[in-house]
Amino acid sequence: MSNLDEHPPAGPAETLRLIEEQRAAAIRGLAPHPMAFFGPWGLAWLLGFGVMFLRFGPDGRVFLPMPDWLPVVLLFVLLAAAAVASGVIAGRSYRHVYGRSAVQGAMYGLAWFIAFLGMGTTLGRFDSALSDADTGLLWATVAIGLTGSLHMAGGAIWRDRTLFGLGVWTIAINIVGTAIGSGWHSLVISLAGGGAMLVLGLVLWARTRAAT
């Protein structure tokens, strides 16, 4: 028998405390490991945008010679791998969740797909009028800005301050990177974006361990 069966709650306050403990335990059981989400995306941004900076640096500088197509392909492969990994992990974690929460999650995931599909078709209409450097900066800044906005939307939906804060931070560094120009933007997103996600994942993981 459990302690709850042996010792019934002493009163309403104790009952509420036990309910809250059980609710928190259930959330911890459902929620995926923090690094399972932040790890793949953090690495994708850190490595993908880092290589972009090395090949397409400020003012056309090349810090590490490589074919023009390689950084772009590597970035897309890393982003696709992160998307698949986070999707599989989320699917396994929330496969027993039904009702309103399940609908919210499905709609939020669909919003990402539709938003980036719309972004791609829209930017593809205008990028031919720009230089190669400005074209790369345009696609990167719009994609990162859209990512930050969707993070904030997700934080608002689930009242998750961490996710909302990540969205604010993402938009802030995107503004800084855009202001200082092509090449530097990739470095800012790599270090302050990807690096920050890895650090955030480790911090949340440490907090989870300390709370259990």
pLDDT, mean of residues 17-36: 56
pLDDT score, position 152: 96
Domain residue ranges of the chain, discontinuous segments joined by +: 1-30, 33-211
Q: How far apart are CA 37 and CA 90, in angstroms?
A: 8
Residue 68 has pLDDT above 90, yes or no: yes
Higher per-residue confidence, 97 vs 150 = 150
Residue 86 has pLDDT above 60, yes or no: yes
Q: In the chain, count of helices (H) and strands (E)?
A: 9, 0
Task: Compute the radius of gyration of the chain from its Cα atoms.
Answer: 21
Do the beta carbons of residue 201 and residue 162 sit within 8 Å? Answer: no
Q: How far apart are CA 86 and CA 103, in angstroms?
A: 18
Q: How far apart are CA 131 and CA 56, in angstroms?
A: 13
pLDDT score, position 208: 73
Percent of the chain residues topping a pLDDT of 70: 77
pLDDT score, position 92: 63
Residue 3 has pLDDT above 60, yes or no: no
Residue 179 has pLDDT above 90, yes or no: yes
Do the beta carbons of residue 81 and residue 40 sit within 8 Å? Answer: yes
Do the beta carbons of residue 194 and residue 47 sit within 8 Å? Answer: yes
